[in-house]
């Protein structure tokens, strides 16, 4: 295993565009024309090819591109015990478009042992090298918590858990179980993807999915913990507590980072707003070693909230858009990196795209060639700024 410690100066968020033959295989499997074994063989092939492309691009981190998933988050939730795939009357709302109406719904008490993602990561681990770190990306505990409080999931959640304290404790326990098993198979870099913060900064959402529900109005998780209410700070307190407790017992050599954005579906977005409203809690108190942050458009605000980043935490600036194939101006990106360095020292900054290229299997509206051109630009800029 590499002694390199992520994040890297030229980094990536995780997901990649699926090749057309993988799209076809997943469709064939859904239609019942190929078996799960046949699908896995095709997924294996696509991942092996992707890993080679990542290495050829000069990246020091590899992922499986999330090629075995349909969604960046729901597939992980479906793999937890006590959770099922379910359908809603409507999907998530994005700018001018709506997603597939799928969700994760409770069928019983939650636990995290024997998760299928353990096997998925074990396959990727085979391709590690001295200077190549395999990374797994999963939704943060906060993301799972909020999914269970979508309006159409409320009844199931409240039937299984009459106490919100009990629910939060079981989510924490499930993630701790999963992280323990993941570490034992060899994972040393886990990224928690978390759109909850990106939604809270938008005044249209703030506490949407939780505080809007009359049946969810309090939580007494520990003596210093306040209530879930219509106050954005109260929800933020709940979410940072949940995320921190879930990773509290993780081994010290497991690099834990988080990615925050405002939605990424077929090149569209869901929310707007700077990090200011949640910066003190998220940047100051979440116990991760680095933040992968969306900064590719004005929707993300300016860099001033980065002044709340505590300790020696690093910030990966998502200044290159994964939503469009048009290449950014190298000089303008470099200027923005130095602007951000007014708030976080340059040696604690890194560069990446603002999100993955395919947060869902549909993928963003660019070609694979444009995808790799974007990564090449990240690498080129990192080399110039940090002599990487």
pLDDT digits (tens, 9 = 90+) for 370-388: 999 999 999 999 999 999 7
DSSP 3-state helix, strand, coil percentages of the chain (rounded to 5)?
40, 15, 45
Q: What is the side-by-side strand order in the sheet with 189-193? A: 136-139, 189-193, 255-260, 290-294, 314-320, 349-353
Write down how long the chain is: 388
Q: How far apart are CA 90 and CA 80, in angstroms?
A: 23
- Kindly indicate the confidence band of residue 220, based on its pLDDT and cuts at 50, 70 and 90: very low
pLDDT digits (tens, 9 = 90+) for 143-173: 999 999 999 999 999 999 999 999 999 999 9
pLDDT digits (tens, 9 = 90+) for 69-123: 999 999 999 999 999 999 999 888 888 899 999 999 999 999 999 999 999 999 9
- Kindly indicate the confidence band of residue 205, based on its pLDDT and cuts at 50, 70 and 90: low
Q: 70-74, 255-259, 268-272, 307-311: lowest mean pLDDT where?
A: 268-272
Angle at 344 between CA 60 and CA 262, to 5 degrees: 70
Residue 4 has pLDDT above 60, yes or no: yes
Q: First CA to last CA across the chain, in angstroms?
A: 21
Q: How far apart are CA 354 and CA 261, in angstroms?
A: 7
CA atoms within 13 A on the CB side of 149: 23
**Stronger pLDDT, 51 or 205, i.e. the higher one:** 51
Helical residues (DSSP H) of 192-329, grouped into ranges: 196-200, 232-247, 276-285
- Beta partners for residue 81, in sequence order: 111
Residue 221 has pLDDT above 50, yes or no: no
Angle at 349 between CA 72 and CA 124, to 5 degrees: 40
- CATH of the domain spanning 20-211+222-386, picked from 3.40.640.10, 2.30.110.10, 3.20.20.210, 1.10.3720.10: 3.20.20.210
Q: How far apart are CA 331 and CA 324, in angstroms?
A: 18
- Kindly indicate the confidence band of residue 211, based on its pLDDT and cuts at 50, 70 and 90: very low
Provide the phi-psi class of 273: left if phi over 0, else alpha when psi is between -120 and 50, else beta.
left
């Amino acid at each position: 295993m590499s002694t390199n410690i992520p994040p890297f100066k030229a980094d990536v968020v995780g997901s990649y565009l699926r090749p057309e033959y993988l799209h076809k295989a997943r469709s064939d499997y859904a239609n019942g024309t190929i078996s799960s074994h046949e699908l896995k063989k095709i997924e294996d092939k696509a991942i092996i090819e992707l890993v080679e492309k990542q290495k050829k691009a000069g990246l020091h981190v590899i992922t499986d591109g999330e090629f075995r998933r349909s969604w960046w988050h729901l597939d992980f939730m479906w793999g937890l015990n006590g959770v099922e795939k379910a359908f809603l009357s409507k999907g998530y709302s994005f700018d001018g478009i709506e997603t597939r109406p799928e969700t994760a719904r409770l069928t019983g008490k939650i636990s995290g042992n024997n998760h299928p993602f353990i096997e998925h990561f074990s396959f990727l681990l085979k391709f590690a090298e001295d200077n190549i770190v395999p990374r797994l990306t999963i939704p943060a505990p906060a993301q799972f918590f909020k999914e269970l409080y979508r309006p159409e999931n409320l009844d199931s959640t409240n039937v299984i858990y009459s106490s919100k304290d009990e629910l939060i404790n079981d989510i924490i326990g499930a993630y701790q179980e999963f992280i323990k098993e993941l570490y034992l198979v060899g994972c040393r870099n886990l990224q928690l993807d978390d759109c909850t913060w990106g939604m809270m900064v938008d005044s249209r959402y703030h506490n949407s999915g939780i505080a809007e529900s009359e049946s969810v109005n309090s939580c007494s998780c520990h003596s210093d913990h306040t209530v879930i209410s219509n106050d954005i700070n109260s929800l933020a307190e709940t979410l940072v507590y949940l995320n921190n407790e879930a990773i509290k017992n993780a081994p010290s050599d497991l690099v834990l980072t988080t990615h925050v954005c405002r939605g990424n579906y077929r090149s569209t977005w869901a929310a707007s707003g700077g990090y200011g409203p949640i910066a003190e809690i998220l940047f100051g108190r979440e116990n991760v070693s680095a933040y992968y942050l969306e900064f590719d458009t004005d929707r993300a605000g300016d860099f001033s909230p980065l002044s709340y980043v505590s300790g020696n935490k690093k910030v990966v600036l998502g200044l290159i858009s994964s939503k469009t194939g048009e290449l950014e101006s190298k000089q303008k990106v470099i200027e923005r990196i130095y602007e951000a360095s007014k708030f976080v020292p340059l040696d604690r900054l890194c560069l990446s795209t603002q999100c993955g290229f395919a947060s869902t299997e549909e993928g963003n509206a660019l070609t694979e060639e444009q995808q790799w051109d974007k990564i090449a630009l990240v690498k080129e800029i990192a080399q110039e700024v940090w002599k990487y």
